[in-house]
Amino acid sequence: MKDVLLAWYSESKRSLPWRETTDPYAILVAEVMLQQTQVDRVVPHYLAWLERWPSAAALAAASPAEVIVAWQGLGYNRRAINLHRAAQHVAAHGWPDDLTELPGVGPYTAGAVGNFAFGRDVLPIDVNVRRIQERTGERFDSSCTQALFDLGATICLARIPRCGACPLADACPSRGSRYEPLRKQSRFEGSFRQRRAAALRAVAAGEQPTDGDALVALERDGLVVLEDGVASLPA
């Protein structure tokens, strides 16, 4: 299956800016932005981010407030704070051998940065890679990582895979199967997450939101500072 997969990838791979570099900082930025966020939304933010902060040292020198404002539109704003802290660690100490020592970096992100930036023989397992391995019964190696990402994102979809277009279909024991969603994602509209996001946007715009519960949650995550009831971004 590996040879067939890689041949398909060579003809069908998506053109993505973070695939044009082996800079660990640029790859870390991409991987953090891509967590729970669609590729099309990430690309313009990624390019703008690297233009403004092209290195870990440049990002480390920024204020948390600048980072939070620049992150607006990507959601899950705590990722911005963790990325900033990771850049500060790298600027001060270099890249650790164990990348999970960096704030906000778990096994998957460490595997992706290790593979794409440092050439480590590790297959980062995200939901797409896991799904393909389970359906095909194949244990792919690290050279297949980007191909698996694209196959999972465009062909081997979660609920209704496009088996007719899949390069692995002839040898796949799950060909033609349909799947129920594992879980329904909680609604954003009307949720506490939406209230938090609205409160943070307001603070970033220099306004004072009245949603006290949202502000307390944002303060707990290091996204705002509350002094005498007045909210501001961290300096």
Kindly report the CATH number that applies to the domain delimited by 23-118: 1.10.340.30
Integer Rg of the chain from CA: 20
| Cβ contacts of 97 within 8 Å, gap of 6 or more | none
Answer for the pair 150, 157: CB distance below 8 angstroms, yes or no: no
pLDDT digits (tens, 9 = 90+) for 130-189: 999 999 999 999 999 999 999 999 999 998 999 999 999 999 999 988 887 666 556 777
Mean pLDDT of the chain: 92
Q: Which of 31, 66, 138, 207 is catalytic?
A: 31
The model's pTM:
0.86
CA 19/CA 42 separation, integer angstroms:
14
7-31 per-position pLDDT tens digit: 999 999 999 999 999 999 999 999 9
| Dihedral pair phi/psi, residue 218, rounded to 5° | -65, -40
All structural domains of the chain with their residue ranges = 23-118, 192-232
Average confidence (pLDDT) over 221-225: 88
Name the nearest CA neighbour of 77 among 201, 229, 188, 185.
Answer: 201
Query: Is residue 43 scored above 80 in pLDDT?
Result: yes
* 79 neighbors 32 (Cβ within 8 angstroms): yes
Residue 186 or 108, more confident? 108
Distance CA 59, CA 126 (A): 27
Task: Tell me whether residue 31 is one of the annotated catalytic residues.
Answer: yes
β-bridge partners, 226: 231
- DSSP string over 191-208: SHHHHHHHHHHHHHTT--
